[in-house]
Amino acid sequence: MTPSSAARRPQMSVEEFEQIARKAPETVRLEFINGKLGVKPVPDGDHGAIVMWLIKQCMQQRPELGLYPEQGLKVESYRLGRARPDGSLVPEDHFVGQGEWASPEGVLMTTEVTSRDSDTDLRDRKDKRDGYAAADIPVYLLIDRDACMVTVYSDPRNGKYLSRVSHPYGDTVKLPDPVGITLDTEKLKDYTH
């Protein structure tokens, strides 16, 4: 076995992961991205404020949609990954009856707000981005607290987003269709510490 094939082999099956995730304490949020078990960091106050700011923006501009925090999604090729985005934008009541790990079909946008931990580069900027693209989620919004940037990924094809546009905090950011929301990101400067 070559080192590269060993690195691609999952640590466990999706079924094994889901069994572990069901038994985890409520204070622990697990994810299964790129074949690896991960613990989603507990958000700090600034992280929570950014998610609430985004929820309000979505509600004001698209009241028929909801930005659902922490809804588990089946992502990656063949739905073999499990992620908990900081937000999933869908039509209201879209997730009703889907359980802990919902299908990504019908999700218009996922959002991640970077955390203050050592894994955020690989997790939020690469692995989750690629998992959402592989699941054909039209828009991925990354709010990068380290860089004070908002990056919009769109046009998923063959497991990759073909479009990537980054804006510094303070810019007006237009999220492409099917989202169709414009964000005034000036407020994000208040959450930079």
Q: What pLDDT sits at residue 144? A: 93
Distance CA 80, CA 187 (A): 36
Q: What is the Rg, in whole angstroms, of the alpha carbon atoms belonging to the chain?
A: 16
Name the average pLDDT for the chain: 85
Report all structural domains of the chain as residue ranges with CATH numbers, in order of start.
Answer: 43-191 (3.90.1570.10)
pLDDT tens readout for residues 70-129: 899 998 766 578 888 999 999 999 999 998 899 999 999 999 998 776 665 556 678 889
Q: What pLDDT sits at residue 135? A: 94
Tell which wins on pLDDT, 191 or 32. Answer: 191
Q: What pLDDT sits at residue 143? A: 95
Q: What pLDDT sits at residue 20? A: 72
> Which has the closest alpha carbon to 89: 132, 30, 39, 38?
132
Q: What pLDDT sits at residue 93? A: 93
Q: What pLDDT sits at residue 40? A: 60
Highest mean pLDDT among 21-25, 42-46, 73-77, 185-189: 185-189
Q: Mean per-residue pLDDT for 25-45?
A: 65
Q: Is the pTM of this model over 0.75?
A: yes
pLDDT tens readout for residues 48-73: 999 999 999 999 999 999 999 989 99
Tell which wins on pLDDT, 192 or 142. Answer: 142
Distance CA 128, CA 111 (A): 10
Q: What pLDDT sits at residue 170? A: 97
Distance CA 136, CA 102 (A): 14
Token digits of residue 145: 């607290």
Q: What pLDDT sits at residue 8? A: 59
Distance CA 136, CA 157 (A): 7
> Which has the closest alpha carbon to 113: 150, 59, 76?
150
Measure the CA angle with vertex 119, ends 137 and 33; round to 5°: 40
